Amino acid sequence: MTPAKLQAQAKQGDLRAIAVLIDDCLTPHGMRAQVRLHQGLLSVSVQAPTPLHRQRSVSSIRELLIKLRIPSVAQVRILGKNRDRSVIWSEEFALADGLNVRTVGTRRRRMRNNSSPNDTLSAPTLNRRSPSTGGQPRRSPPANLQKDPWLAVNLSALFPGLGQIYAGKFFRGLLIILIEAVLITVAVVSFFSPEGNTLTSLGLIFPIFGIYLVNIIDAHRCFKPLSFLRLERVLKNKRNKNNPWVAVFLSQLLPGLGHLYLKNFGLGAVLMISLILASNIARLHPGWLLVPPLLYAIACYHAYFYCPRSAIHSRDPIVMIVSLILAFKLTAILIPAWVEHDFVQRFTIPSDSMVPTLRSGDQILALKARGRPPQKGDLVVFRAPEFAKIIDPNAGDLFIKRTIGMPLDVLRLKDGIIYINNQPLSEDYVAGPAQYHLDPQIVPADSYFVLGDNRNNSFDSHVWGYVPRNHIIGKAYKIYWPPERIGPLR
């Protein structure tokens, strides 16, 4: 319907047309209105908790009604409401022939929160001047902004329990944080410890993820009842269409999703494509690991201020949320990268040279050496020596063998038995005795003599020589996959 037809219907007293016109004049200021008309009294409810929005709403509605000159409207009452729908101020004035506006009364209402009975806001009159402000309308002290359930949802999306604490459910939030932290700890220990079962770690993913989802819904329920069946209805609710915290929550799930929700399809697509590209590049270049968390933070921050209703919110919460997003995303990315770089690394066995201890396809964990020399009998992962690459260029860059000779040991192999410093070495881990001989030799300083457990089918030190100490990456200590092979290595 054209604006001219709307104005024509409004002048005839059509309440729906009046409501649309008032709503249109308030939308640029990030506000919405509900309108009622009864016996010449036009009641307009506006969510305007701050003095600035109060002034804007009153002046916008006043100017619109003066322009329209609606005969059926003799008096106007504007009710300013907080986020919990409690009335915090009211403004009432009369229209004489739709041209002159005068103040007929100002009401005081108590806020429905924990404030004292004296914490009320008096409405500024439209015609009264304040001598101390040079004729400017008197401003009331700012109202306290109410807590937003979708801000609680955003906090719980960062880590379970934070939203409940924000909502005032301290012990419930603390209990959720404790349960989630314990489950994550048990899962991590089960995966990395030598005796831990990887299946236990994988099985805990389901309760961890389940608690995470329920916790997000519960964070909203701390303010209003919300069931699984009503979740879609809440997302489609008109009051949430312009809620910046809904856009931030969707941006937390996937950068660009919040902008699609706000119908900014171009920027939403750009953010999604940027995240995909940055994630793929980060796999090849670790320096790009910081880019995906930054994209999440930028998407959330921009989605918040792109939403028209963000003007009625304080800037501090979104700064806090963005800071927490950066902190949690960086932690989730950098800690695993740091652990794999400095402590534990995963490897896949490419051949059967270590049968029966290791088989082709086994996935193992190795504890980084970090200056600790390997001990006799350790399974060590190391970079292939240069002479090994010369003999067989297709052998690969990483080997895993068992340490047999330590630096300066005198070593020889005769009749399938290895002698270290003239003492026979007991080996119950080999597939069979070696069918080759080694003359007595001294292992060089800072070098090691390594052999595969499958002695007669292993490309090892008896072929290409010794392993320099600086080539050793770490000690293999656990098979974590496949399930039937999970267990510690010896």
Q: What is the mean pLDDT of the chain?
A: 83
Q: Are 125 and 33 in contact (CB under 8 A)?
A: no
| Residues 382 and 442 both lie in one domain | yes
The predicted-structure confidence for 366-419, as pLDDT tens digits, reads as follows 999 888 899 999 999 999 999 999 999 998 899 999 999 999 999 999 999 999
Question: Is pLDDT at 317 greater than 50 in this prediction?
Answer: yes
Beta strand 467-468 pairing with 447-451: antiparallel
Q: How many domains does the chain have?
A: 3
Q: Are residues 325 and 214 in the same domain?
A: yes
Residue positions annotated with a catalytic role: 353, 401
Q: Are residues 208 and 302 in the same domain?
A: yes
Do the domain assignments include residue 138? no
Q: Are residues 61 and 159 in the same domain?
A: no
Q: Are residues 291 and 385 in the same domain?
A: no
How far is it, in rounded angstroms, from Cα 443 to Cα 456? 21
Residue 117's pLDDT band, with cuts at 50, 70 and 90, is: very low
pTM: 0.67
Q: Per-residue pLDDT tens for 213-252? A: 999 999 988 886 544 445 555 555 555 556 889 999 999 9
Strand ranges of the sheet holding 417-420, from the earlier edge strand across to the other edge? 423-424, 417-420, 410-414, 438-442
Q: What is the pLDDT of residue 352?
A: 93
Domain extent, residue 198, equals 149-337
Asked, for residue 142, whether it belongs to a domain, the answer is: no
Domain boundary among 289, 307, 337: 337
pLDDT digits (tens, 9 = 90+) for 37-83: 877 788 888 887 788 888 888 888 888 888 888 888 888 888 888 77
- Residues 211-234 as b/e (b if ≥16 CB within 10 A, e otherwise) read beeebbbbbbbbbeebeeeeeeeb
Residue 119 has pLDDT above 50, yes or no: no
**Nearest in space to 324 (alpha carbons), one of 301, 348, 305:** 301
Same domain, 90 and 157: no
Residue 139: inside a domain, yes or no?
no
Q: Is residue 329 situated within a structural domain?
A: yes
Angle 134-138-143 (CA atoms, 0-180°, nearest 5)? 145
Q: What does the alpha-carbon distance between residue 250 and residue 300 come to, in Å, rounded to a whole number?
A: 8
Q: Which residue has the tokens 């996959």?
A: 481
Q: How does DSSP classify residue 288?
A: G
| CATH at residue 393 | 2.10.109.10
Query: Do residues 149 and 223 make contact, with C-beta atoms less than 8 angstroms apart?
Result: yes
pLDDT of residue 103: 38
On the question of a cis peptide bond just before residue 433, with omega within 30 degrees of 0, the verdict is no
Query: Are 95 and 76 within 8 A, CB to CB?
Result: yes
CA distances from 110 to 51, 79, 95, 114, 258 (A): 16, 13, 27, 10, 36
Residues 327 and 379 in one domain: no
How far CA 164 is from CA of 80, 212, 236, in Å, comes to: 28, 12, 23
